[in-house]
Amino acid sequence: MSEWSGRVAFISGGVSGLGLGIAQAFSNAGMRLALSYRNEDYRAQAARWFAEQGREEPLWIRLDVLDRDGWAAAAEQVTARFGEVHVLCNNAGVSVFGDTAEASHADYDWIMGVNFGGVANGLVAFLPRLKAASGRRHVVNIASMAAYLSGPQAGIYTASKFAVRGLTESLRYNLVPHGIGCSLVCPALIRTNAWDSAFRRPAEFAQSGFGEVNRAELEQFGTAFEAGMDPLEAGTKIVAGMTRGAGLIFTHPEFAEDFEAIYADSLAALPDEAAPPERLEVERLRRAANRAALAGKAISINDLT
């Protein structure tokens, strides 16, 4: 029996794409599920999988991840149904591309609002519930390899994923004293329709600086996703990483060249000079505080000087 058996998990955007793959993997591990959705057709397709597998039907929660009241209501619904919630998976996101130098406020508000704000909203709504629960608990924040790899066509998307990375890496230290695991997940190409987010842009964010969506061009870009990893395979790797207690979960192996370049460029950018002893001491204390945090100590700013 899986150590996750009977644990209750909430997954945002859990009815299609990677979110559904995670939901299937969680179900395979014995978890009980609450899944948020916006598209009724996707929800119905997901429901068929659970019925065909003879699994408990998830609690379906219609949710816009920008809606903070909706998040609060979702947390209430989950605990009302299951009593406790043990796993939060912040998965919902949008993939939108365009020249960042042309971006409007609406572009920033939508992409950052969903991809980063949605994660923040999930944490505020559900962390008190996880802290109050018992046993194995975990937070999973889905970012992207874009949290490490920048490019010319996805500046705001990349910024949102860098933000999720920084938040999650820091949050991990804060959750150790509560006995709650925390994983940053950075998937790459997944066989999904994530590329078509621009076609589902809400009216309140319509004033894009990227110009009118070129459907043919975007659909051609979408053909790359056909080579992507199966969502259930990625979800299964995420469960394995959670079980190991991994703070960082990479699902795809094809990025050694990129990380070697990042490492080399970073080292080369450091000034070739000696640092004064007082600054070295500050950084020694910072590193020691980080190690102590991962060992279970609650760290305050007093530990940094």
- Tell me which residue of 66, 63, 83, 47 sits closest to 11, measured CA to CA: 63
Q: Where are the beta strands (DSSP E) in 159-285?
A: 180-186, 248-250
Q: Output the CA–CA distances (angstroms, integers) from residue 106 to 20, 111, 172, 211, in the order listed.
A: 28, 8, 31, 12
Eight-state DSSP code of residue 33:
E
Residues acting as catalytic residues:
157
Task: Report the half-sphere exposure of 236 (CA within 13 A, side-chain side).
Answer: 6
The pair of structure tokens assigned to 89 is 């998976």
- What does the buried/exposed string (b/e) look like for 253-275 if buried means 16 or more CB atoms within 10 Å of the residue's CB? eeeeeeeeeeeeeeeeeeeeeee
Yes or no: say if 157 and 97 are a contact pair by the CB < 8 Å rule. yes
The pair of structure tokens assigned to 121 is 């909203």
Q: Output the CA–CA distances (angstroms, integers) from residue 145 to 78, 160, 248, 250, in the order listed.
A: 31, 12, 11, 8
> What amino acid occupies position 262?
I
> What amino acid occupies position 178?
H
Rounded CA gap, 246 and 238, in Å?
9
Task: Report the half-sphere exposure of 56 (CA within 13 A, side-chain side).
Answer: 19
Beta strands at 59-62 and 87-90: parallel, antiparallel or unpaired: unpaired
